[in-house]
Amino acid sequence: MIENTNEIASSDIITRMNDGFAKMSKGQKAISAFISDHYEEAVFMTAAKLGDSVGVSESTVVRFAAELGYDGYPEFQNALQVWVKNKLNSVQKMDAKYGNSSQSEILNAVLSSDMEKIQDTMQKLDPAAFDAAVEMILAARKIYVVGLRSCEPLANFLSFYLNMIRDNVQLINTTSVSEMFEQMIRIGDSDAIIGISFPRYSMRTLKAMEFASDRNAKVITITDSVHSPMNLYSSCNLLARSDMVSIVDSLVAPLSVINALVVALCMKRPDVVKQDLETLEYTWNNYQVYLNDEINFINEDKMLRNPLWKETK
């Protein structure tokens, strides 16, 4: 239970769940994960209904609210309603910030904000942690990559390029915790997992980190702060600033960190990467992967000599 009354007064319900996640029981973690991923539904649920949805008793839900520092479930539900209301007010906040701005002013403001985030990330990211992440990725038997909701594109991007650098890379792509564990069932101490999550932190991603840590796998996180709950199970934290610019999260700085990670890995295995790219180029050309839908006009003469290309003209 959160004992500091000042901390209770200042922290919102999601922050309390994140901060207390490591010490929660199995049932409480299930409640926390459900609320985090389905807050639009949970905000209208009674304690009994929430318990049924998660698979725990009503009394477990009530104790969960008390452990977070609330005086009963009604106060807990009210706090959730306040948080959801603030979340839905993001559009109004955006209107207040950009409502009187021209399109070009919005463009300049957002780009300038993203530049500032990258600069801040450059100053605060730990070079030793970055080096350690590179070595872990190269040494691992298998790499798992997980990023959900708005972080899913980052996870896809990273896994795509990791597959060009090394084999045994698995992108965990699922909408349920049970399916996630099914994909990770063989993870062990010779493997590594890269978890990507920013506020609102994904409880499903956090559960994957916990599971990997329990199996003694190497855990690498890409998140926003030393206070992120993602760091609870990680031995290597790559911190990149991500703030709410409008109704969407700015993920420019995290993407830049991922780019740097990919380049550093390539420099560690230049011969392997070169060979793989040459093999891909041969395969693309041999099986006419890129013809009508994606044409490389830089080498147009070579394409024009292809009889299949002539037939389409």
**In whole numbers, what is the pLDDT of the chain averaged over residues?**
79
Of 83, 101, 72, 61, the residue nearest 16 (C-alpha) = 83
User: From CA 165, how far away is CA 10, in angstroms rounded?
Assistant: 45
Rounded mean pLDDT, 245-249: 56
Rounded mean pLDDT, 299-308: 47
What are the tens digits of pLDDT across the range 130-157?
999 999 999 999 999 999 888 889 999 9
User: From CA 28, how far away is CA 203, in angstroms rounded?
Assistant: 12
Domains identified in the chain and CATH numbers: 5-88 (1.10.10.10), 125-268 (3.40.50.10490), 271-312 (no CATH)
Give yes or no for a contact between 220 and 137, defined as CB atoms under 8 angstroms apart: yes
Q: What is the pTM (predicted TM-score) of this model? A: 0.64
Rounded mean pLDDT, 232-236: 85
Q: Where would I find the beta strands (DSSP E) of the chain?
A: 143-147, 169-172, 192-196, 218-223, 236-239
What are the tens digits of pLDDT across the range 56-113?
999 999 999 999 889 889 999 999 988 877 766 555 555 555 556 677 777 777 787 7
User: From CA 81, how far away is CA 208, in angstroms rounded?
Assistant: 28
The whole-number pLDDT of residue 313 equals 44
Please report, in angstroms and rounded to a whole number, the separation of the first and last CA atoms in the chain. Answer: 72
For residues 27-43, one letter each, b for 16 or more C-beta atoms within 10 angstroms of the residue's C-beta and e for the rest, the string is bbbbbbbbbbbebeebb
What are the tens digits of pLDDT across the range 180-216?
888 999 999 999 999 998 877 888 888 888 899 999 9
The whole-number pLDDT of residue 41 equals 84
The whole-number pLDDT of residue 258 equals 93
Q: Report residue 23's pLDDT band, with 50, 70 and 90 as the boundaries.
A: confident
Q: Report residue 3's pLDDT band, with 50, 70 and 90 as the boundaries.
A: very low
**What is the share, in percent, of the chain residues with pLDDT greater than 90?**
28
The whole-number pLDDT of residue 103 equals 72
What are the tens digits of pLDDT across the range 169-184?
999 977 667 788 889 9
